[in-house]
Amino acid sequence: MPHLQFELNFTPSPEEKKQFAAKVVNNFATIMDTGTDHIGITYRCYDTNDLVFGRAEKPEDGIAFLNADIRLGRTREQKRQLALAIMSDLHATCGVPTASIYIIYTEHDGPHFQLDDRELPSWSEGEDPLE
């Protein structure tokens, strides 16, 4: 169960959150070669000056951090492709400059992800952990 925790120095509208989440889920499933039912997204929204990022030239235009807890096994290329897709979608949906977005991956073995009826297996190509 990837847990994608977005920290933002602004609050998107409910429609923007819904639209962006749909893009993230689709991109994650496609790029990371997995299903969609186990993807979790969290938004943590703060005031403009509550996030600081040295590359952000104008914090008032938006700053976004993504802490992405994912299962071990994805390639460097998959992680980079996903990061670029998320940056592009966040810019298109909310106007955040891509230079003001920072994505951090933390990788865990499958059993670190627990659901009510099972633990997830370690990732393997072409799998859906809930099937």
- The correct answer on CATH 3.30.342.10 for the domain covering 3-112 is no
- The pTM (predicted TM-score) of the whole model is 0.91
Q: For 54-110, what is each residue's pLDDT tens digit?
A: 999 999 999 999 999 999 999 999 999 999 999 999 999 999 999 999 999 999 988
Does residue 126 come out as left (phi exceeding 0), alpha (psi in the -120 to 50 range) or beta? left
d(CA 6, CA 45) in angstroms, rounded, equals 8
Q: Which sequence spans correspond to the domains of the chain?
A: 3-112
Residue 9 pLDDT > 80, yes or no?
A: yes
Q: Is 68 helix (H, G, I), strand (E, B) or coil?
A: strand
Q: How far apart are CA 44 and CA 25, in angstroms?
A: 18
| CA neighbor of 32 nearest in space, from 84, 71, 78 | 78
Beta strands in the chain (DSSP E): 3-8, 40-45, 64-71, 101-108
Q: Within 10 Å of residue 30's Cβ, how many Cβ atoms?
A: 13
Neighbours of 131 (CB within 10 A): 6
**Integer Cα distance of 7 and 101 in angstroms:** 10
